[in-house]
Structure 1
């Protein structure tokens, strides 16, 4: 791009070497860029320990990994000491490894997810740099880091970020392998990395790790009539590597537990996708508002993203008619539609779309006219200012005094976050006015990133009471390692992790239905069985809702209070000291 075109596109104008000597560079990056990256990565990890675990994913996968580490059984996942075959073990393996290296704790449970967030980001930056140059690569990293959906995904202990990072590696490696300047050996190496990414995705969340890339390639081939792409995927060595990585665990657990295959492949894949067996049904447009909120700071780039994928021509001067932006666009749309058609929907299912969306947005940002950028900045400045003005009224969202107080407290964090984002937009407008629009775009991304960090830190306002961690000291004074801890009609996803003690389910197995069905001795299926065990069995504690406590107390069951909050109570079947206030 010549100087005139760069200025017209809103980039920095040319500067003479005499008046502006080149800044020192390391690994092709300026010192300022390296400092910004270092601070961003540092902040990315430092906030992992600032919040307590949330139900259900964070507590569930933290506890599965803890039980895996304690038992030494890295083949059979267990949750509350019963078989748990809903998901493959890669995420739990890495979390258990984090425990082994750094101890059991909250930031350790989120460490692998945070690493996955950066792995996916780094993979897309490499692909963008290979095809579109360093500037688009820089925009890709900034946009993805400042995308709410991806930022939040990288800071929660959830399998969705694991599979999304693995799929991002698959997409990025495939793009790099198909570059016209890639020789056969380089193409083979990158495609083997892509197959490794698919294997990791399968071990993270199941067959979607293979089905989604396969779907994208089929749609891309039909849309572009590029069937020669399949000859460049190195199918034979790729499939061999994929099987070597994936088969051992599936073979080991299937051999040890023959019931695994039907439950995992039929119930957790076919029935989950085609029916409402998991009671997570939602309308087909469910992910539309999810996407609009999760990509909000960059929605103004969508028209340019569409044009980048639609108008792309085949790579000139090469017999390979490959269209990288078209593949990236099809990746985003096909996966979005795949999950929209599913009968089971959760917000995290949108995560695999975001790396591709960020790359397309980076291409659009590089080509965005200066006036269009200014209009979008004014729009976002007005929006963030409006949120800041409304933040003092957050306390009116709750339906009871307790929730209203929590919302009011969180309103202060919303105010701070919105002001940081508004400051980023204002800085972008000012820097554009003084002829430094490129720096202004960086400033806007930094403002969004800092605002997301503050908003997430403030979520501890809700997270601490939801986790039940304040009950732990009172419970630990009574609970012994060999003492039963019953979950009466309630599966609590966070207290078992904090207590380092699994629950024994009573009457309602919740999502442990398969596990207790395979090992019925590990639960009490009826309230009558619990009544007898509670009255005549060994000393024990029971966790339940306040309503269940009142019902059982009215029925004459002996119970002594141990700890209580608004969500749960813990009682004993033997006299204890009075419960401490939470």
Structure 2
């Protein structure tokens, strides 16, 4: 029988292949459509560019200064992407897109192994169309890279504990789990070990299954994890003795236990993020709870305490949610690791959900889409110091289009349910949701283009020369250095580079007076300043405007022609 005539979980293989192709095009084809946003996207794109430029892959630098807030794996992958494909936006986002796909694929594999092929396919559809997961996979941040790796940790653990796994298979999957934790340690530090450890302890307390610990292959696994992670930590600490205290005390203990990073949030901070991030599938929540309570997938033949995969996934989501909710530092991306576990549970629930329940889900999304479409003109009324109203008005059109697509997706799901069955309905609905939220993201370019400063790059490049100082006066611009391929020299305010300026004080100007002296008596230079700072400084020293937008002004200390 030819491959295109075969079926996967009752679905024609050709249909599955076409769905995968469409999802892949939507997933990877949109990576380079938007310009980079600050702070995260520009920061990590520029760190990788400087890593590639200097050839130093051990001591992380940002704008030429030591930057030890995060380990290097994400930047290593991005620098490799630059090496293979050149420096650009989609190359900078390739790491997170691959992490998202890796986490999705691993979750599908684990769900298929424990709950059946259909549940595996549905897990993939759910996770790919979950807004938080697919949007985050198109933003150049470490949170998505960590979450993709953590999804592999969870999936490997689930696969290793399947009752039909041979001793060799269990060992290999557990070694893969430990290796993934080593990669997590190289992505965001100790959280890559703390989170799986927390989930394992909570699972053991709930089930009292102490025998699970004997199936972890801990001695060999810990050795493998350390082999993956320790060499970089050893090298960077050897070259930079100040690294260990800053990284483990300031960036781990103080970040979690205090508000030193000024990223406060209420105890319920992550609730709307999970609700919005899983919006298309919230109607499955009762079925997800039932899957846990009914111990779906459990096969206890010959064991006193069989492993419970649905419970493990649920405790993974709940434990990580509680862990970050109790933290003194909160950012939206922190909650991303819960979504693969939610995706697995939703895939199981969806495979067991009847037609009436699925119709209720589709009708609910019809209401959500209609309400969103009616409310989208409100976006056009917004205004703020950071984003002028004109940009919001441009984005309002895209917001309306995204809700319209969500509305159409739910309607298409209802139409296909009657004519092609539930699987076709779910697939069309999931694809429509992916396209809807991708549209909302792509439309953000209406705001993001000016925020990136890309329109200033051409005029600045015409006068900026290699080796010429590029000052950031009272501001750290996170995107222009990447686009200009030229690091900033900080002035007066070190911002998040304060650790680096303390270690290498000769690489910045600590006061405005020092800048004024360098501006008047030093070599030719370019400076980036805010409009307010420009008004203040231009009264003291000559400043020739090279380019400007609503948030920054680029000036030179020498006359130029053709500037705007």
TM-score (norm 1): 0.94
Cα pair distance change 1:523/1:402, threshold 3 Å: closer
Gaps of 5+ in 1: 1-20
Deviation at 1:392, TM superposition (A): 3.8
Distance 1:278 1:401, change over 3 A: closer
Q: Does 1:188 align with 2:171?
A: yes
Aligned pair 1:488/2:511, yes or no? no
1:188 counterpart SS class: helix
Q: Shift of the alpha carbon at 1:281?
A: 1.1
**1:425 matched residue in structure 2:** 410
1:353 paired residue number: 338
Shift of 1:399: 5.1
Equivalent positions of 1:373-522 (< 5 A) are 373-398=358-383, 403-434=388-419, 436-522=421-507
Moved more, 450-459 or 355-364: 450-459
- Distance across 2 between alignment mates of 1:161 and 1:394: 27
1:170 maps to which residue?
153
C-alpha deviation, 1:435, in angstroms: 6.5
Check the 8 A contact 2:69/2:247 in 1, yes or no: yes
| 2:513 is aligned with 1:528 | yes
Q: Which residue is equivalent to 1:25? A: 6
Return the alpha-carbon distance in structure 2 between the equivalents of residues 105 and 365 of structure 1: 39
Q: In 2, distance between residues paired with 1:100 and 1:152?
A: 25
Aligned residue for 2:545, secondary structure, equals strand
Which residue does 2:548 correspond to in 1?
564
- Distance of 2:26 and 2:4 partners within structure 1: 25
- Cα displacement (A) at 1:578: 4.9
> Which residue number in structure 1 is paired with residue 558 of structure 2?
574
**167-176 or 316-325: bigger deviation:** 316-325
Q: Which residue of 2 aligns with 1:130?
A: 113
CA RMSD of aligned residues (A): 1.7
Give 1:467 shift: 0.1
Q: Is the CA contact 2:126–2:347 (under 8 Å) kept in the aligned structure 1? A: yes
Q: Is the 8 A contact 1:315 1:321 kept in 2?
A: yes
**Other-structure match for 2:99:** 116
Q: Deviations over 1:455-514 (max 9, x none)?
A: 111111011000000001111111111110110000000000000000000010000000
Runs of 4+ in 1 over 4 A off after TM superposition: 26-29, 399-402
> Aligned equivalents of 1:31 and 1:106: distance in 2?
33
Separation in structure 2 between the aligned mates of residue 391 and residue 213 of structure 1, nearest angstrom: 40
Deviation string 1:32-78 (CA, Å, 9 cap, x unpaired) is: 11111012112211101100000010000000000000000010110
Task: Name which of structure 1's ranges 475-484 and 423-432 shifts more when overlaid on structure 2.
Answer: 423-432
More displaced 10-residue stretch of structure 1: 366-375 or 226-235: 366-375
Measure the CA separation in 2 of the matches of 1:378 and 1:466.
38
Aligned counterpart for 2:133 among listed residues 136, 150, 156: 150
C-alpha displacement at 1:23, in angstroms? 6.4
Distance in 1 (alpha carbons) for counterparts of 2:397 and 2:538? 41
Q: Distance in 1 between matches of 2:501 and 2:373?
A: 49
1:291 maps to what in 2?
Answer: 274
Picking from 315, 335, 340, the partner of 2:299 is 315
- Give the total of aligned pairs: 559
Question: SS where residue 493 of structure 1 aligns?
Answer: coil
Q: Name the TM-score, length of structure 2 as normaliser.
A: 0.97
Uncovered stretches (5+) of structure 2, i.e. residues with no partner = none
Is contact 2:452–2:479 with CA below 8 Å preserved after alignment? yes
The answer as to whether partners of 2:52 and 2:79 remain within 8 angstroms in 1 is yes
Per-residue deviation, 1:428 = 1.6
User: Which whole-Å CA distance do the structure 1 matches of 2:250 and 2:416 have between them?
Assistant: 55
User: 1:427 deviation in Å?
Assistant: 1.6
- Contact 2:387/2:447, CA 8 A, preserved across alignment: no
- Partners of 2:386 and 2:194 in 1: CA distance: 48
For residues 14 and 302 of structure 2, the distance between their equivalents in structure 1, rounded to whole angstroms, comes to 37
What SS is found at the alignment partner of 2:554?
Answer: strand
- Among residues 305, 309, 319, which one is paired with 1:324 in the alignment? 309
Distance 1:512 1:150 in 2: 30
CA contact (8 A) 1:180 1:318 kept: no
